Amino acid sequence: MKIVVMKFGGTSVANLSKIRDVAKIVEENSQKNKIVVVLSAMSGVTNQLQSYVEEVSSEPSRETDLVITSGEQVTVGLLSMILNREGVKSLPLLGWQVPIITDENHEKGRILNINNETIYHHFKSNDVIVLTGFQGISVNGVITSLGRGGSDTTAVAIASSLKAVRCDIYTDVEGVYTADPNVEKNAKKINKVSYEEMLEMSSMGAKVLQTRSVELAMKNNLTLQVLSSLTNTEGTYIVNENKLIEKEIVSGVSYSKNESKITISGIPDKPGISAKIFGLMASNNINVDMIVQNISQDGVSANMTFTVLTKDIELAKKTLERNNNELNYTNLSTDSNIAKISVIGMGMMSQSGVAEKMFKTLADKQINILAISTSEIKISVLIDKKYTDLAVKTLHSVYKLDNK
Amino acid sequence: MKIVVMKFGGTSVANLSKIRDVAKIVEENSQKNKIVVVLSAMSGVTNQLQSYVEEVSSEPSRETDLVITSGEQVTVGLLSMILNREGVKSLPLLGWQVPIITDENHEKGRILNINNETIYHHFKSNDVIVLTGFQGISVNGVITSLGRGGSDTTAVAIASSLKAVRCDIYTDVEGVYTADPNVEKNAKKINKVSYEEMLEMSSMGAKVLQTRSVELAMKNNLTLQVLSSLTNTEGTYIVNENKLIEKEIVSGVSYSKNESKITISGIPDKPGISAKIFGLMASNNINVDMIVQNISQDGVSANMTFTVLTKDIELAKKTLERNNNELNYTNLSTDSNIAKISVIGMGMMSQSGVAEKMFKTLADKQINILAISTSEIKISVLIDKKYTDLAVKTLHSVYKLDNK
């Protein structure tokens, strides 16, 4: 039995007419394979539910998850209804009916287990299973949600669990681009990209796919496709690097504006201090991104800079201040007026001079670099937020990514 | 452990501000008793969901129930959030989490069993359980809904199962009135009424309580109170007739305009023919209300008149026509331009002349009676719809129900 998982986001199911369009795409695909469709809630509904919750409390709880996971139930019911009326044998399922077991970390649940036997069982008498994205249930029977973009995670997790031939992520763009087309008009659609590159692009701000879902696909060697629900064209395939014939030196330029920088200086330079700092962040569920550490000039204390999501910056600051009796730093400063610019490419590994070119290009444009972080396949820098577009456009051109 | 069940309908939870008002009422009550709150969806939401479903298909299914039961999840989550923030220990529960087991009759599910152990268990660490009304789950794990007004049924069923001291049904009116206050300005609020009277009133069109929920309360000898969520005053208690000190001869006048009449004439008068007709109705899930049968003048054939909800009239007609090879009637006619007027009262049983007074009053006003049906505690007549208000007002005055 060949299974394809198809995921549609909130804008693709924003109203009944759009859900009918989705039904057509699903129907077409169901003639070749068994299909699991994973749906988000109607985009307007999610915002409404979110605003109710925020008006009452900002603290994630059993209740907030109950409220914000109610929307997928509607889209799943409606799509399955339409499919059945069109003669496609379809069955709707909620997260807990599979079940998709998660931990009990509200609004940030992580999937622990999926009982794929339920899906196989229902495929005996159905060609399509329409499953709610975003939601799960803990072993204690408490409903949970997977966080922003959680439907991608649901889709990839179920596809991995079922050993699906492919997981198609439908969205309102035609694929992954060499840069954000809203910023760089000459951005090109990429045909194939490796998990590693996509991972760097996602975590660096390319909004098409959630980092977690790419990680999960990579771990399970699952082919992803990002494509548009509006046009009937192939999108971008995200695959194992072995499947890439030609490895681009730089395959894309991305940016993120929703991070803030924390700099701690005068930390006693002794073992265990980083573990302590990032342990504090982790125990408060604050994700840390870039980390740059330097020995200071006196040789006995260190400076550390790292970035967190801007929404977490206040909590991060307070947590560090509260624990300064253990940390003993001398100064702490934060800056939310920054952007992170990254260039990404598998070819970088075997090519020198990529970083130098980036630094020189930015310097030529008088853009000051506040911090640098590199991996085998990407270079990221922090700059002043106001230079974001300029940096993206210039780098896109310098690395010859412009569409001809 | 003393438990009170409090049910709030869609208009009482129509937005966040109203849900906060509900929280205040619940908080007050939770100081004296353990509370189960049963909620409907926000009134606007239910209509929206219903309209989605109707746009796709009118046929009740697993999918339609999935869509229309999503709204209670939101109100239950929000109320429990607010209560917890106010320091009231509260837990939200969905129908399937109890579970409330129903049959698999979609959009008309009947409750088969309630696992009240779940509620007792959660009362160990909570003072309030906030439960979704309207929804249940079949033994096969399929989500179901209980039909219009199903939240009343949920409230009464859970109250009966938990042997609650009382089930309070909050609504936007202050109780049960001797007649619809919109029609009869002099209508009075009734302080106490028997189950039987309430049952007749509900099925006769008094919109405050669903018939099923009154039946269920009566069966379990559960005291109901109908009261307003807007004013802090006692409502109408619905109790065992033994608890009524003074039995009114006539306690109310009610009307219904949403029924239609079917008349079948020339039916062979042989055993089993009624069973066949009403068997056909039942198997199509058509509820039949008034039934009047007469032997026709020839002594070998019969005429039968009965009423069904106007929404079911076409289906009823088609069903009968399709089966006329078995039924062998000579003529079938329908009439939707009718109203049913009823006078109801426990005192009627021991008092003669009540029916005569009704018929004479209507005759004096030149209102023609199309059919009559009586029980021990009510008399119903069918009349031309346009005389509804006149009949209600006149009878209300004749039976001395007017507020002084």
% of residues, chain B, pLDDT over 70 = 96
Burial B351-374 (b: 16+ CB within 10 A, else e): eeebeebbeebbeeeebeebbebe
B204 pLDDT band, cuts 50/70/90, is low
Largest distance between two CA atoms of chain B: 75
Return the higher-pLDDT residue of A270 and B7: B7
A75: its two tokens: 């889209």
CB A263 within 8 A of CB A304: yes
From the candidates B78, B89, B128, which should be mutated to test the interface with A, based on the most A CB atoms within 10 A?
A: B78
Reduce the DSSP state of residue B271 to 3 states and report it: coil
**For A78-215, where are the E strands, in sequence order?**
90-93, 100-102, 111-114, 128-132, 135-138, 143-145, 166-171, 192-194
Half-sphere exposure of A88 (CA within 13 A, CB side): 28
Reduce the DSSP state of residue A64 to 3 states and report it: helix
- Can you say whether residue A78 is alpha, beta or left, with left for phi > 0 and alpha for psi between -120 and 50 degrees? alpha
What is the Cα–Cα distance from A203 to B121, expressed in whole angstroms? 44
Burial class (CB in 10 A: 0-12, 13-18, 19+), A286: middle
Question: Going by C-beta distance under 8 Å and a sequence separation of 6 or more, which residues neighbour residue B218?
Answer: B195, B196, B199, B240
A357: its two tokens: 């070119």
A149–chain B nearest CA distance, Å? 20
A112–chain B nearest CA distance, Å? 21
CB B100 within 8 A of CB B136: yes
DSSP alpha helix (H) spans, B300-347: 313-322, 324-327
Average pLDDT score over residue span B8-19 = 94
What is the Cα–Cα distance from A133 to B144, expressed in whole angstroms? 21
pTM exceeds 0.95: no
DSSP alpha helix (H) spans, B57-175: 62-68, 71-85, 116-123, 150-161
B16 pLDDT band, cuts 50/70/90, is very high
Question: Measured between beta carbons, which residues in chain B are less than 8 angstroms from residue A74?
Answer: 49, 52, 66-67, 70
Which of B56, B70, B78 minimises the CB distance to A82?
B56
% of residues, chain B, pLDDT over 90 = 63
Reduce the DSSP state of residue B150 to 3 states and report it: helix
What is the Cα–Cα distance from B294 to B292, expressed in whole angstroms? 7
Predicted local confidence at residue A206, as pLDDT: 54
B299 pLDDT band, cuts 50/70/90, is low
Question: Measured between beta carbons, which residues in chain A are less than 8 angstroms from residue B67?
Answer: 73-74, 77-78, 81
CB A308 within 8 A of CB A281: yes
CB contact under 8 A, B81 and A57: yes
Return the higher-pLDDT residue of B60 and B352: B60
Predicted local confidence at residue A118, as pLDDT: 97
CA dist A5 → A161, A193, A223, A235, B387 (Å): 11, 19, 11, 15, 61
Average pLDDT score over residue span B33-43 = 97
Please write the tens of the pLDDT for every residue from A229-245: 888 789 999 999 887 76
Average pLDDT score over residue span A191-207 = 77
What is the Cα–Cα distance from B81 to B76, expressed in whole angstroms? 9
Question: Measured between beta carbons, which residues in chain A are less than 8 angstroms from residue B57?
Answer: 81, 85
Residue recorded with tokens 């700092």: A277
CB A209 within 8 A of CB A169: yes
Burial class (CB in 10 A: 0-12, 13-18, 19+), A104: middle
> Which of A168, A48, A29, A147 shows the shortest CA–CA distance to A88?
A29
What is the Cα–Cα distance from B395 to B397, expressed in whole angstroms? 5
Predicted local confidence at residue A273, as pLDDT: 81
Domain ranges of chain B: 3-172
What does A296-347 look like in DSSP terms, one character per residue?
-TTSSEEEEEEEEEGGGHHHHHHHHHHTHHHH--SEEEEE-SEEEEEEE-GG
Angle at CA A199, nearest 5°, toward A197 and A201?
70
B309, amino acid identity? L
Please write the tens of the pLDDT for every residue from B350-376: 777 888 889 899 999 999 888 888 887
Residue recorded with tokens 């049960």: B176
ipTM exceeding the 0.90 mark:
no
The A-side interface with B (CB below 8 A) comprises: 16, 49, 52-53, 55-57, 61-67, 69-71, 73-74, 76-78, 80-82, 84-85, 91-92, 94, 96-97, 141, 143
Matching CATH number, A3-172, of 1.10.3720.10, 3.10.180.10, 3.40.1160.10, 1.20.1250.20: 3.40.1160.10
What is the Cα–Cα distance from A312 to A40, expressed in whole angstroms? 25
